[in-house]
């Protein structure tokens, strides 16, 4: 027997980024008893972004400030909030879904997964230190800050090449650093990069260290053929070595694509009835605040319909 408290909800939202808070607003306005849980502080990835200038209605806003507004908005509708929870178990395959933390068993008719994704890290010295001060994992968010500057993109996949091309809109020079001689990206994407005069490829090299004072100044590279090191003078480093969804608590209960992102239909319904996924954690072509917020709204409306239908059935 567990002596943990039990709490009951119509919908539990896991994750408190734009998808999570948007879902919370729509679900509580849809009259569902709504809880939002996060394993860290509220706000998700955008709360780490220095500035956001592509969220409609705000030509320039701090990421933290924007997410505070999302949270205040959810507060207005009485969403119950549980930050910094330690999740021990998630059971989705039953009619009443359960999320067990160290001190509580949350039980809910429906669940919205909005746990986001994270860029894979290079794991080199200086990467963490200069995050937000020259190291960025989002060219769309931060590219405009590198007008007439020199930047390096690390990786050889579609993301790296496409983001490098995007960065040439602002930067005067973009290096693409890749660990092999051959790129992984689609040929058409490679061709566009080869034809771009602002892009220079440094192949068979891997990054060793990021150096600077207040902001990034140097990317130290290792030539993988000769083992020699060289200093590359850059103002920014954009690692694009793949993204991974935050799905470790679901133990393969849901259908996922090859990269692990959760598969949904257009209603954000996952492979399990009553379980929805929204934002970066799902299989989506664009990972932005606006698309995550939109997913959250759709997921919540689907959950409202599902819970209403469930209540109708149990009435009879």
Residues identified as active-site? 138, 141-142
Alpha carbons within 13 A on the beta-carbon side of 286: 10
Distance of CA 11 to the CA centre of its chain: 22
Nearer to ligand NAP, 204 or 218 (CB): 204
Report the residue number whose CB is nearest to ligand NAP: 157
Q: Find the shortest distance in angstroms from Cβ 58 to ligand NAP.
A: 26
How far is 246 from 39, CA to CA, in rounded Å?
Answer: 11
Nearer to ligand NAP by C-beta: 122 or 268? 122
Dist CA 167 CA 140 (whole Å): 8
Closest listed residue to residue 70, CA positions, set 311, 306, 279, 286: 279
How far is Cα 286 from Cα 139, in angstroms, rounded to an integer?
13
Helix/strand/coil (H/E/C) assignment for every residue in 7-21: EEEEEEEECCCHHHH
Least distance (Å) between residue 262 CB and ligand NAP? 15
- Helix (H) and strand (E) counts in the chain: 6, 16
CA separation, residue 234 to residues 198, 205, 212 (Å): 14, 16, 10
Q: Rounded to whole angstroms, how far apart are CA atoms 277 and 160?
A: 26
Nearer to ligand NAP, 37 or 154 (CB): 154
Closest approach of Cβ 225 to ligand NAP, in Å? Answer: 14
Give the residue with the Cβ less far from ligand NAP, 138 or 154: 154
CB of 228 to ligand NAP, least distance (A): 18
**Sign of the C-alpha dihedral computed for residues 288, 63, 277 and 123 taken in this order:** positive
Which residues make up the interface to ligand NAP (CB under 6 A)?
122, 154-160, 162, 179-180, 184, 206, 240-243, 259
Q: Residue 164 or residue 277: which is nearer to ligand NAP going by CB?
A: 164
Beta-bridge mates of residue 89: 100
Q: Smallest distance from the beta carbon of 139 to ligand NAP, in angstroms? A: 11
């Amino acid at each position: 027997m567990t002596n943990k408290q039990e709490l009951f909800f119509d919908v539990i939202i896991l994750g408190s980024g734009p998808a999570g808070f948007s879902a919370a607003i729509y679900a509580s306005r849809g009259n569902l008893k709504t809880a939002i849980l996060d394993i860290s502080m509220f706000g998700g990835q955008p709360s780490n972004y220095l500035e956001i200038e592509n969220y409609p209605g705000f030509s320039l806003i701090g990421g933290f400030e924007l997410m505070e507004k999302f949270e205040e908005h959810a507060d207005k509708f009485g969403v119950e909030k549980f930050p910094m929870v330690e999740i021990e178990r998630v059971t989705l395959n039953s009619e009443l879904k359960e999320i067990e933390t160290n001190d509580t068993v949350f039980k809910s008719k429906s669940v919205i997964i909005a746990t986001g994704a994270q860029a894979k890290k290079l794991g080199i010295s200086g990467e963490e230190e200069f995050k937000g001060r020259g190291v960025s994992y989002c060219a769309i968010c931060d590219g405009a800050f590198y007008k007439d500057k020199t930047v390096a993109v690390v990786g050889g996949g579609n993301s790296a090449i496409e983001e490098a091309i995007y960065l040439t809109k602002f930067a005067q020079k973009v290096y693409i650093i890749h660990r092999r001689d051959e790129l992984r990206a689609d040929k058409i994407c490679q061709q566009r990069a080869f034809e771009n005069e602002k892009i220079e490829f440094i192949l068979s090299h891997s990054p060793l260290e990021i150096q600077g004072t207040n902001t990034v100044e140097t990317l130290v590279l290792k030539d993988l053929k000769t083992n020699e090191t060289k200093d590359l003078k850059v103002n920014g480093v954009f690692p694009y070595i793949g993204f991974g969804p935050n799905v470790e608590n679901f133990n393969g209960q849901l259908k996922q694509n090859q990269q692990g992102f959760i598969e949904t239909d257009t209603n954000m319904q996952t492979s399990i009835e009553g379980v929805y996924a929204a934002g970066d954690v799902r299989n989506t072509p664009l990972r932005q605040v606006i698309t995550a917020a939109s997913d959250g709204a759709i997921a919540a409306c689907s959950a409202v319909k599902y819970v209403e239908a469930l209540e109708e059935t149990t009435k009879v």
